[in-house]
A and B are shown apart, each in its own frame.
With several copies, the nearest count.
Chain A
């Protein structure tokens, strides 16, 4: 906890629409690009206004250590992302990170990544990280979305040599139903670890399935955040052992058994 956290008025280098309502923003942030690990996030605040007031947390989607920049991917849903959308290249935003605990690779032969909605960015980052390992593991990526057009990051996952399977709520692509319904068949024989990020109900399902089968898993949670660094105590989730954990600093990555779902 004692080393310093990079913070900048970071320049927006690029800002493009990658799917309906989905945007990728590239930010000039050399230290963060070097230090960020999959599962970690950054806090971003648009400048010049107090409304929206609070920064928003975004998972690191790509980190280009050489180029000294990072990508975040967001879906424009509310005030924060609505304001974020207005920051064209050349504009500066306040940025600090990397924050939180990253995914920890278990000693397994197969890794199953489960991503839903805006939980996909850290999954993509992790897949690319795993692909660069000296001793590569088999990587399966199960990606869910409400509908086909909202499926994002698939190409990146394939380029990272992951076996990709998709599910959509409306059946417009892949499995018609929840992405978690695809999970069990991968937990049969090969020693496997599961890493997931997405909406709470999806994570709860992953927790149920993996705990029942005794498969190691890590889940990246979301919670409303004010500070992102552990000071406001606003982002807590109840611990199974009692008391509360801070998603921003005790997480965002938790093991299923840590949380009282």
Chain B
């Protein structure tokens, strides 16, 4: 039996390690695009995912924004949900007891408007059994200046991350905004401040206008743009950032099929998150995982880690 045949038959390894966490595979849900999994558990076994990233938790419960909250755009969508969530108590009492039973890492996405709020939330939530990591949402465009300031100023990122790092008992993963001049500078600041990894990108601030009603479509006027439309921007940022820092990068933005995930891995992402695609294809995540595995087998690549960042190396033949 030739080695080629052996290769063909062995199952490729999809396992990756990220900030000390072992993931079955590098594919997870993106915050706010998967609820806390209960809806999608009706379509596939959540334990197939590399990790579950839930909706943002804010210092106090939030009812969310008045309608209209979403609008379709070419190959994308705008959202201004307004971080609707039950707050820390609601999360700890109603949500965590259920999701901690899952056999996969659970990341909590944390969003706030001040340094102190970020620190307090990290302190509180990182002590809870079942919280595997904290993803710091430094960039929610839909909750007014407060949230927005954090996303784009290097100093604020450094300050917030190092303060949270001190109190956070689990891996701390700042999620960076793309609405910035120099995302590499933000990533460097996060790394220097002790981040265990960075996630990017969050949504780009956008708008749509209803020409019949002569006003913005969204009740919030502006919203966050996501979906395949933003993939080229996200991919470029992941490519730049992963070349500039030494902590892992979680690639996010417009991933809708396994080929997209491969692009992000080749650009240097250690793992990827699938967001908007869950909405238009509830089985997007298992399809990405299966597609990735089949492609690796076809190409006779034994370990998914072999392709991480290869597009950044000199051209191969």
A contacts B: CB pair < 8 Å: yes
Residues of A within 8 A of B (CB): 1-5, 7, 45, 50-55, 79, 94, 96, 223-227, 229-238, 242-244, 249
| Interface residue from B42, B81, B227, B282 paired with A53 (Cβ < 8 Å) | B227
In the complex where A4-B42, A226-B77 touch, is A232 in contact with B33 (Cβ < 8 A)?
yes
**A234 & B43 in contact (Cβ 8 Å cutoff):** no
**B42 & A226 in contact (Cβ 8 Å cutoff):** no
**A232 & B70 in contact (Cβ 8 Å cutoff):** yes
**B282 & A234 in contact (Cβ 8 Å cutoff):** no
**B40 at the A interface (CB under 8 A):** yes
Nearest-CB distance from B301 to chain A (Å)? 23
Query: Which 10 pairs show the lowest CB-CB distances between chains A and B?
Result: A234-B70, A227-B279, A50-B75, A226-B279, A231-B35, A50-B228, A50-B74, A231-B39, A229-B39, A5-B42
Residues 66 to 83 of chain B near chain A (Cβ within 8 Å) = 66-77, 79, 81
Q: Which residues of B contact A55 (CB under 8 A)?
A: 279-280
The 0/1 profile, CB within 8 Å of A marked 1, for residues 135-171 of chain B is 0000000000000000000000000000000000000
Q: Which residues of A contact B74 (CB under 8 A)?
A: 50-51, 53
**B38 at the A interface (CB under 8 A):** yes
Q: How far is the CA of A244 from the CA of B69 in the complex (A)?
A: 12
**B38 & A234 in contact (Cβ 8 Å cutoff):** no
Q: How far is the CA of A225 from the CA of B40 in the complex (A)?
A: 16
Nearest-CB distance from A20 to chain B (Å)? 21
Nearest-CB distance from B46 to chain A (Å)? 12
Q: How far is the CA of A244 from the CA of B82 in the complex (A)?
A: 12
Residues 101 to 121 of chain B near chain A (Cβ within 8 Å) = none
**B35 & A230 in contact (Cβ 8 Å cutoff):** yes
**A231 & B281 in contact (Cβ 8 Å cutoff):** no
Q: Which residues of A contact B43 (CB under 8 A)?
A: 4-5, 7, 96
Of all chain B residues, the one with the shortest Cβ separation from A223 is B67
**A233 & B69 in contact (Cβ 8 Å cutoff):** yes
